[in-house]
Amino acid sequence: MPVLDTSFIVDLLRGNKEALQKLAEMEVQEIPLSTTEINVLELYRGAYLSRKTHQNLEEIKKLLECFQVLELEESVYEVFASLSANLLSKGRAVGAFDELIAAIILLHGERIVTRDSHFKEVPELEVISY
């Protein structure tokens, strides 16, 4: 079950051709889709930073009905801490939110759909680009 990153969801909302094509490919394969609670927080923050807050919130809520949202569970804490410390010690930190997203995905044994290449810095995380 691919996990959709914030960049992918935003691109879908903006009608990005590559994102829409990738979504169509996944729908043809009847692959269930998901995102994480952290991605949802990022989407809401973006809506509140925009000029069309109400409209963007409505679009986000409607779109999120199509996805399973992976929760931030207690079992993620140690995975995140280990991953984040490892990346930081190598000078390859990708940011706390993205490291947390990666930890949730790794814990669930899933892949991430994103255009953000820095996720490739995360060992063992399979990145689906578009």
**Domain range summary for the chain, segments of one domain joined by +:** 3-128
Distance CA 102, CA 83 (A): 9
Distance CA 112, CA 94 (A): 14
Q: What value does the mean pLDDT take over residues 70-86?
A: 96
**With pLDDT > 90 as the criterion, what percentage of the chain qualifies?**
91
Q: Which CATH architecture has domain 3-128?
A: 3-Layer(aba) Sandwich (3.40)
Distance CA 99, CA 101 (A): 5
Residue 54 has pLDDT above 90, yes or no: yes
Give the number of other Cβ atoms within 10 Å of residue 41's Cβ.
Answer: 14
Residue 65's alpha-carbon distances to 58, 62, 96, 106, 129, in angstroms, are 11, 6, 26, 23, 23
Q: How many residues does the chain have?
A: 130
pLDDT grade, residue 1 (50/70/90)? confident
- Token representation of residue 29: 């394969």
Distance CA 80, CA 119 (A): 14
Q: What is the DSSP letter of 117?
A: G
Q: What is the pLDDT of residue 81?
A: 97
Q: What value does the mean pLDDT take over residues 52-62?
A: 95
pLDDT grade, residue 56 (50/70/90)? very high
pLDDT grade, residue 38 (50/70/90)? very high
